Structure 1
């Protein structure tokens, strides 16, 4: 990892921004800093970044809202900085597309290690991790529109998908009738993080089942493989 690795640090505390910038530059990275969501957006429009370090608790627009907006058009890995001890914000962050989190106060060396690990995972992901532009896949009574992030049923009723649901459904549709473990689903969708995030996959599967299963309590399409993970059962057709 060298100075071609460009990190955007978004935090409203100047001392944290300056500390991280100095530390990451010392370890061979380029760093751009932003004090709030508006400044981060200006930097994102002006250049490309290999990874974003994003504070959750900021005055005005918080990091979760910014992450949600970023994920509409940008797939750069995101690591959250959070002073919140509760699991809820961490899980919400991952479901929106974050790759990892570090709890404040933190050791800069730990953050550096997580940055390197997340970037390695992102660089090692196969091209099929993201759905191709314009992809539309039919399964059962549903048509999955990747660009619009929507499901259309046989009555032309449209159901929107969250970013996490979209990634998870694409992972299943690209690998029908294959057992996927939770670890594999984490790798395929947003990358491996802490074991805590295994619950995020289960939550996403439950939400997705409510949108595509006739009876989510007795799923026929996304089946649970006890001791294994999940399997999408059915025929898929690209249209």
Structure 2
């Protein structure tokens, strides 16, 4: 019987470790081979429980995770991985259903793609995830004394990457945190979806504006609907709460 977790090693020193969680062998192999070609170390888990175990052992730099899995599904896998160690997760879903996407973002996924997808876009999304993590780590080292942003009952601690509202801590994914900081750093200023994509996601084109919309909805579910104003056809603005 084949092992549940299969290592696929790059001939070059790996720049990052990626865990691919996919139960369809053809898709898992294709994704792993494409990511390995980028010089990353890749391991494949075939079911949810194996994915949780592999994540705890590897501490991967990013996870590419299918929602539909044997055993426990991708949503529960995400919860367990994030509870053990914050990890960037790119979720794959077979349905273009906004509710599924919002649930995925709500439990800790950073990004999502709908099947079928292009390998080129998958690689671009993973690279963007890794860049954001590296940028966040550099920010902690180079700007440890950044004062918190305090607006009404919202406190955003940029140095510790923690958010509180009304004294209660709100747990955000790395992407949600960067999006919130971007908006809150320019209160009442309308930022376009295209600018948010470029600054937060490192995307050079405007093909992912729906991703921005979904993350905004996830932020509203966690922080309340009153903090971020929609400017239809343009973008979003952070509205500081009353003191």
Q: TM-score, normalised by structure 1?
A: 0.66
Stretches of 4+ moved more than 6 A in 1? none
Once residues 161 and 123 of structure 1 are traced to their aligned partners in structure 2, the CA distance between those partners, rounded to angstroms, is 20
* 1:203 has 2:209 as partner: no
132-141 or 44-53: which moved more? 132-141
Shift in CA distance, 231/40, structure 1 to aligned 2, threshold 3 Å: same
CA contact (8 A) 1:129 1:189 kept: no
Is 1:103 the equivalent of 2:115?
yes
Q: CA deviation at 1:48?
A: 4.3
2:32/2:42 contact within 8 Å kept? yes
2:182 to 157, 171, 179: 171
Could you tell me which runs of 5 or more consecutive residues in structure 2 were left unpaired when the two chains were aligned. Answer: 1-9
Corresponding position: 1:182 with 2:198: no
* Aligned twin of 1:216: none
Separation in 2, partners of 1:184, 1:75: 25
Please point out which of 152, 157, 162 is paired with 1:140. 152
Please report how far the alpha carbon of residue 209 of structure 1 lies from its aligned counterpart in structure 2 after TM superposition: 6.8
Partner of 1:11: 22
Tell me, in whole angstroms, the C-alpha distance in 2 between the residues paired with 1:194 and 1:140: 32
Determine the C-alpha separation between the residues in 1 that align with 2:230 and 2:128: 26
Aligned to 2:5: none
- Are the structure 2 counterparts of residues 121 and 186 from structure 1 closer, same or farther at C-alpha, using a change threshold of 3 Å? same
**CA contact under 8 A between 2:62 and 2:87: conserved in structure 1?**
no
Cα distance change of structure 1 residues 129 and 184 upon mapping to structure 2, 3 Å threshold:
farther
**Residue 127, structure 1, aligned to residue 135, structure 2:** yes
Aligned length: 217
Cα offset for 1:139?
A: 1.2
Cα distance in structure 2, aligned partners of 1:36 and 1:201: 27
For 1:159 and 1:29, locate their aligned partners in 2 and report how far apart those are by CA, in whole Å: 35
Q: Does 18-27 or 178-187 show the bigger shift? A: 18-27
User: 2:236 aligned with 1:230, yes or no?
Assistant: yes
Structure 2 partner of 1:36: 47
Q: Work out whether residues 144 and 152 of structure 1, in 8 Å CA contact, stay in contact via their aligned partners in 2.
A: no
Q: Does the Cα contact within 8 Å between 1:181 and 1:228 map onto a contact in 2?
A: yes
In the other structure, the counterpart of 2:164 is: 150
Shift of 1:103: 0.8
Distance 1:100 1:223, change over 3 A: closer
Secondary structure of the structure 2 residue equivalent to 1:33? strand
Change (3 A) 1:25 1:186: closer
* Separation of aligned partners in 1, 2:127 and 2:29: 25
How well do the aligned residues superpose, as a CA RMSD in angstroms?
4.0
Question: Which position in structure 1 is the counterpart of 2:94?
Answer: 83
Point out where structure 1 has 5 or more consecutive residues left out of the alignment: 214-220
The whole-number CA distance in structure 2 between the counterparts of 1:189 and 1:71 is 21
Which is worse superposed, 121-130 or 84-93? 121-130
